[in-house]
Structure 1
Amino acid sequence: MSTHSDPILWIGTETCALGPYRADLVETYWRWEQDPVLLVGYGRQGPESLEARTEGMAHQLRGANIRFTVYDLSSGEPVPAGVATLLPDHAVRTAEFVIMLAPEARGHGLGTQATRLTLDYAFHITNLRMVWLKVLAPNTAAVRAYEKAGFRTAGTLREAGYWLGRSCGEVVMDTLATEFTGPSVVGPLLTRP
């Protein structure tokens, strides 16, 4: 069993890695999810109790979705810093992407790195052909991070969300496996002796 000090890391760079979603981190995930900035960013209107989150965790661990714990490696030690999720539709080989970062992990490029690692996994291990996401239009920092990771705007769902008590558009973004550029961390793993 992995402990907080020696987590399993599946793929990563020098400063960011993805590992398994962990039941022992349910309280940490819950704390991040109650952050007011995250609540606004997701358009949620209310917090969730730890008890409800713990019950939901059991369901998530059994589900078909692909969930990762995002680790910040910048200090030299893997520190849990977020969750990245792919919600696949295997019939058409696509998935919706969702990411959540701890408040202390935001604004340092970790979200872009974790998104690129998740896309690398999606396209080179899960063999998806397209990944898409929705983001509230006023969340310009998230839109920029997704663009840096390779997403393009596909359109806007008008008045589909709420931002600070006002209705707003929800931007739909997507990226294709054929558009995934730059170095893959998965490919070199397959060529090791």
Structure 2
Amino acid sequence: MTQLEPTLWIATETCGLGPYRADLIETYWAWEQDPSLLVGYGRQVPESLEARAEGMAHQLRGSNVRFTVYDLAGEEPMPVGVTTLLPDDAVRTAEFVIMLSKEARGRGLGTEATRLTLDYAFHITNLRMVWLKVLAPNTAGITAYERAGFQRAGTLREAGYWLGEVCDEVIMDALAREFSGPSTVKALFGR
């Protein structure tokens, strides 16, 4: 399948967010089959490409905000992950989910993609709070979320599994009024 030239909605020098794309279904699916992602992503079983394609059709019609994450360090933008906001419009909040390819991890792209997604959430979607759940043993993820602007809000005791062992889930949140640092979205409007 031929990949289209990416559209970037917002970007920094190293990371960009663009639309969630049906032509990348096989790429997304391949990332989702990585055992290291299955451990921390919540779904612990592999999925067939056919089942994933059915899910993609539903996702493209849904009200969730999904982005393809691009690594901009090379000559051409390279898709390396997905971020998702699962909004609750009644209270102007959303749950945040991120998935990065194995090759993209450990290079700061997760933090950058998370920060860009929060920037979009607070300055375009006008959410007041974004939250997430992360398994407590995922210390690299927790650190990346804290760098992006999330704070620990609580713990769900023994709510998850990590490598076959029961573990806690950490609840983290980010508030629009506390979002600090440069805003890529505001910079687009000279603010």
Asked whether the two chains share a fold, i.e. TM above 0.5, the reply is yes
Partner residue of 2:100?
101
CA distance in 2, matches of 1:15, 1:166: 36
Q: Is residue 56 of structure 2 the alignment partner of residue 86 of structure 1?
A: no
Q: What amino acid does structure 2 have at the position aligned with 1:180?
A: F
SS in 1 for 2:107: coil
Residues matched between the structures, number: 190
Partner residue of 1:167?
166
Tell me which moved more, 35-44 or 79-88: 35-44
CA distance in 1, matches of 2:46, 2:4: 29
Partner residue of 2:73?
74
1:106-145 aligned at under 5 Å gives the runs 106-145=105-144
1:188 positional shift = 1.7
Partner residue of 1:33?
32
Q: Is residue 56 of structure 2 the alignment partner of residue 60 of structure 1?
A: no
SS in 2 for 1:29: helix
1:4 positional shift = 3.3
Q: What amino acid does structure 1 have at the position aligned with 2:62?
A: G
**TM norm structure 1:** 0.96
SS in 1 for 2:44: coil
Unaligned runs of 5+ in 1: none
Unaligned runs of 5+ in 2: none
Contact 2:159 2:169 in 1 (8 A): yes
Q: Deviations over 1:2-27 (max 9, x none)?
A: x7362100000011000000000001
Contact 2:7 2:19 in 1 (8 A): yes
**TM norm structure 2:** 0.97
CA distance in 2, matches of 1:147, 1:113: 12
The two structures, once aligned, show a CA RMSD in angstroms of 1.1
Q: Deviations over 1:70-98 (max 9, x none)?
A: 00001131000000000000110000000
SS in 2 for 1:159: strand
Sequence identity of aligned pairs in percent? 78
